């Protein structure tokens, strides 16, 4: 059984079926990619995993626990972290504060202890600051740690958002098009970070990406969505030779 199991998930918005009886499993420690044409339901799938959407039917298991009805914050505390397709950072806060917010579920200080800020609170703050500094080192964003993220370039914001999710020390990391809108150099860096996260921290990663080169290089398994339906699942070679997948992609290209 995988770390994450999607069982027969269906999600409807009025007349639109964003997910149509989708089932698959993600193995612990792998890089798993979700691909599909625009509007296929990839982001909707991540929203169901992180709890922003509740599937109309079907269920989601994380490490054997049924999390279908859990609210997002409870899923985060179980170790599910997420970076968004459209950046969702806290724009007025510094990179450091954004990353410290990533540590929220790992910290304990309550209201009173925070207001008094003695001994234990200060020690906790320092201890977690060290963890955040590790993430900052890892992503090579030392020079912008005190900059408000709203003023950073798009590529850097994407990197900071990945960092914030990473700061949670997730068991599973959901990345929604982390390389979109980047130049090829930034893309290469990001691909390297993803490989490093995977290898050094042993984090399971679910990746949504349109660049097929990247997807084929990085993934252990790939699932293909089209109009909300799962039309293919397998290793990169299997997907490349899957006639339905080829058809869906060719169909899209013909339409364009």
Partner 1 sequence: MRNPFVMDCGEFHVNYKQDLAIWKITRVRMRVFILLAVFAVFPMFASDYIIGLATLCGIAAIGAIGLNILTGFTGQISIGVGAFLGVGGYTSAILTAKLGLSFWIAMPTAGIVTAIVGGLFGLPSLRLKGLYLAIATLAAQVIILFVISRWDALTGGTAGMVLSRPELGSFVFYSERSYYYLMFVVLVITAIFTLNLFRSRVGRAFIAVRDRDVAAEVMGIDLFKYKVLAFIVSSFFVGIAGALLGHYTMVVSPELYSITVSIEYLAIILVGGLGSVFGSIYGAVFITLLPVVLRSGVELMSGVFPDLSAVLIGMKEVVFGLVIILFLIYEPQGLAKIWKNIKDYFKLWPFSY
The nearer residue to partner 1, 173 or 245, going by C-beta atoms, is 173
Q: Does residue 22 sit in helix, strand or coil?
A: strand
Residue from 168, 172, 191, 214 touching partner 1 (CB under 8 A): that is 168
Q: In angstroms, what is the C-alpha Rg of the chain? A: 19
Which residue stretch of 23-31, 37-45, 130-138, 179-187 sits at the interface with Mg ion (rule: CB under 5 A)?
Answer: 37-45
Residue 93 binds partner 1 (CB under 8 A) = yes
Residues 6+ apart with CB under 8 A from 46: 34, 82, 174, 176, 206, 208
Question: What mask, x for binding partner 1 by CB under 8 A, covers residues 42 to 61?
Answer: --------xxx---------
Sheet containing strand 4-13, edge to edge, reads: 16-26, 4-13, 57-62, 65-66
Which neighbouring-strand residues pair with 94? 148
**How big is the site for partner 1, counted in residues (CB under 8 A)?**
43
Round to whole Å and give the CA distance between 2 and 235.
16
Question: What six digits make up the tokens of 57?
Answer: 């039917």
Question: What mask, x for binding ligand ATP by CB under 6 A, covers residues 81 to 120?
Answer: ----x-----------------------------------
Q: Which parts of 57-86 interact with Mg ion (CB under 5 A)?
A: 85
Residue 134 binds partner 1 (CB under 8 A) = no
Of these partners, Mg ion, partner 1, ligand ATP, none, which one is at the site of residue 39 (CB under 5 to 8 Å by kind)? ligand ATP
Backbone phi, psi, residue 61, to 5°: -115, 130
Question: What mask, x for binding ligand ATP by CB under 6 A, covers residues 7 to 26?
Answer: ------x--x-x--------
Residue 246 binds partner 1 (CB under 8 A) = no
Do 22 and 229 touch, CB atoms closer than 8 A?
yes
Beta strands in the chain (DSSP E): 4-13, 16-26, 31-35, 57-62, 65-66, 80-83, 172-176, 204-208, 221-226, 229-234
Q: Which residues sit at the interface with partner 1, rule CB under 8 A?
A: 50-52, 71-74, 76-77, 81-82, 84, 88-93, 97, 100-102, 104-105, 107-111, 113-117, 121-122, 124-126, 129-130, 164, 168
What residues make contact with Mg ion under the rule CB under 5 A? 43, 85
Residue numbers of the site for ligand ATP (CB under 6 A)?
Answer: 13, 16, 18, 36, 38-44, 85
């Amino acid at each position: 059984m995988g770390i994450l199991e999607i069982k027969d998930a269906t999600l409807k918005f009025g007349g639109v079926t964003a997910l149509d009886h989708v089932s698959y499993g993600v193995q612990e420690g792998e890089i798993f990619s979700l691909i599909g044409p625009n509007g296929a339901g990839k982001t909707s799938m991540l929203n169901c995993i992180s709890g922003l959407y509740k599937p109309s039917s079907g269920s989601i298991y994380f490490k054997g626990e049924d999390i279908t009805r859990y609210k997002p914050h409870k899923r985060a505390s179980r170790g599910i972290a997420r970076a968004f397709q459209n950046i969702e950072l806290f724009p007025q806060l510094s990179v450091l504060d954004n990353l410290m917010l990533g540590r929220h579920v790992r910290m304990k200080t309550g209201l009173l202890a925070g207001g008094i800020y003695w001994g234990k609170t200060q020690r906790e703050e320092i201890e977690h600051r060290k963890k955040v500094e590790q993430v900052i080192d890892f992503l090579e964003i030392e020079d912008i740690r005190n900059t408000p993220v709203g003023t950073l370039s798009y590529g850097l914001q994407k990197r900071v958002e990945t960092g914030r999710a990473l700061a949670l020390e997730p068991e599973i990391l959901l990345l929604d098009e982390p390389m979109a809108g980047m130049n090829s150099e930034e893309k290469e860096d990001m691909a390297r970070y993803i490989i490093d996260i995977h290898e050094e921290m042993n984090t399971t990663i679910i990746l949504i990406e349109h660049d097929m080169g990247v997807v084929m290089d990085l993934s252990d398994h790939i699932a293909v969505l089209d109009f909300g339906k799962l039309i293919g699942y397998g290793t990169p070679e299997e997907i490349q030779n899957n006639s339905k997948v080829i058809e869906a992609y060719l169909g899209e290209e013909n339409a364009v």
